[in-house]
Structure 1
């Protein structure tokens, strides 16, 4: 285990699994000032990332005593980044729930896997491959520059401005009535994003952020 830094409880995250998702997440958390204890049953992976993380340890996360020995119950945040081994993912998540970890994120490889993780107590479930596939599908439309589903059924997109919104105040476009969406913010060339109002006039080189129900956001994105 690498003890390069002492762990700050309020800025500490336990990451279980150092595959592509877990290692990328751990390194990004470090870049944002978090202290990361990452564990994996594979000694090679642990050795690979040990110097880059606050702590790294070879641990069988399905072993309750092993989790207790590394102080898992003391963490308020944990990420179960095990994806390919369904049983290990479920058992690890269940153990962390029983230990009282306040916020548990868990990676799932399918919606069925995700439902099981939620049923046993995971607070947030992520499906990286599914989410990326969905995001790319939206970006292929051409006008959508970024897509985020905030929760099931509600999304945000960053987009160029469709022709029917150009050069007139938003209040005159009836875009909310027609599409059920809200233009949240606008970015002029060379300027930061700012809030959009009913008086905002959009121009061809602007970028906009739009919020609404996913099906309505998708319908807006396809409109010309």
Structure 2
């Protein structure tokens, strides 16, 4: 295996279930060196040949993790979800090994708080995050929604009919709604950066950033 100096971009994914397996496969498809670790030999067999390396090991055994050279990796993802004890122990071992970028999956807010408190750098709740996103899409008229930070969102929505033929400077969307149009997509083209001189047409798609509630209110104006 490569030495530590050459493994800063490599990722170890622990837990090759639905979340970890999909993530590991996507990383590998993007050319990232991936070590998959799972205690279930069936999962290891399933991903053999699809990832750079796959091993069957107990991630809660610090000695086993050390022997695998986990400390050489720049980033780690703990995809273990339902077994909270294993998730926490594994994350703790990664912290002790000195990994500088640890992502961990949580299945509840309490689980997330524990992971954050022991030192996980990023905690994700896939089911909760997706549920929140879909709820915004179902209840609103936006085409897509991503909350990039607490209380701050990026929304894709159709341009309102009253904006047709006017520039963003003339529309005054920022002063009127408190949000910023950062991109505009004309039918049949890709997104381009928006400027004050950008002319909006009713068939355009807008990429709008700002306070979550304000972006939602603006999307309702379309």
* TM-score normalised by length of structure 2: 0.93
Kindly indicate whether the alpha-carbon contact (under 8 Å) linking 1:106 and 1:117 is maintained by their aligned counterparts in 2: yes
Question: Partner of 2:49: helix, strand, or coil?
Answer: helix
Residue aligning to 2:26: 28
2:200 counterpart (187, 196, 202) = 202
- SS class of match (1:144): coil
Q: Which runs of 5+ in 1 are unaligned?
A: none
Q: Does 1:123 align with 2:121?
A: yes
1:19-62 CA deviation, whole Å, 9 max, x = no partner?
10000000000111101101011111111111111111111111
Alpha-carbon distance in 2 for matches of 1:30, 1:52: 7
Structure 1 residues 172-214: Cα deviation after superposition (integer angstroms, max 9, x where no partner): 2222122211000001112221111111121122111111111
| Residue 166 (structure 1) shift | 2.5
Report the equivalent of 2:186: 188
For residues 176 and 110 of structure 2, what CA distance do their matches in structure 1 show?
35
Which sections of structure 2, spanning at least 5 residues, go unmatched? none
Q: CA–CA distance in 2 between the matches of 1:111 and 1:202? A: 41
Equivalent residue number for residue 160 of structure 1? 158
Mean Cα deviation higher: 31-40 or 170-179: 170-179
Cα-Cα RMSD: 1.6
- 8 Å contact 1:141–1:222 — kept in the other structure? no
C-alpha contact 1:64 1:95 (8 A) present in aligned 2: yes
1:143 deviation in Å?
A: 3.2
TM-score, length-normalised on structure 1?
Answer: 0.93
Contact 2:163–2:202, Cα closer than 8 Å, also in 1 = no
Distance 2:214 2:108 in 1: 25
Give the total of aligned pairs. Answer: 220
Which of 169, 189, 196 is the aligned partner of 1:171? 169
Aligned to 1:75: 73
- Displacement after TM superposition at 1:111 (Å): 2.0
Provide the C-alpha distance between the structure 1 equivalents of 2:86 and 2:140, rounded to a whole number of angstroms: 40
1:1-224 to 2 correspondences below 5 Å:
8-141=6-139, 143-224=141-222
User: What is the Cα deviation at residue 6 of structure 1?
Assistant: 6.0
